[in-house]
């Protein structure tokens, strides 16, 4: 269980960091925010992957396609986050 949590945090940090690197612009969030962004992205990527391909964690929790899905999901989550924050400030 501890290994799963550590893996979740590391993959979340990597996915969130890569999403913030790919999408240009400023995002005033620290490391915890980046981890949360990556974890949310993992859930989004996992849901989309399961809906499209019917694969889940029982087929192997750490797969290259899952990591790519996590990054793409984190990009979507980051864009939604920016849209919500922009709407609140305008």
**Contact predicate 75/45, CB 8 Å:** no
Least trusted range by pLDDT, from 44-48, 57-61, 72-76, 77-81 = 57-61
**Contact predicate 75/25, CB 8 Å:** no
pLDDT of 79:
92
Identify the band that residue 75 occupies on the pLDDT scale cut at 50, 70 and 90: very high
Indicate the helix (H) or strand (E) that contains 57.
none
What is the pTM assigned to this prediction? Answer: 0.79
**pLDDT tens sequence across 6-58:** 877 888 889 899 999 999 888 778 888 888 888 888 888 877 777 777 765 56
CA distance 44 to 89: 26
Q: Is pLDDT at 88 greater than 80 in this prediction?
A: no
């Amino acid at each position: 269980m501890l290994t799963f949590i550590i893996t979740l945090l590391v993959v979340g940090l990597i996915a969130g960091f890569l999403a913030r690197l790919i999408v240009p612009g400023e995002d005033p969030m620290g490391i915890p925010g980046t981890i949360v962004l990556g974890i949310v992205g993992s859930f989004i990527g996992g849901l989309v992957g399961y809906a499209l391909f019917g694969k889940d964690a029982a087929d192997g929790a750490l797969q290259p396609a899952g990591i790519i899905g996590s990054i793409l999901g984190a990009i979507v989550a980051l864009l939604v986050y920016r849209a919500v924050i922009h709407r609140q400030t305008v």
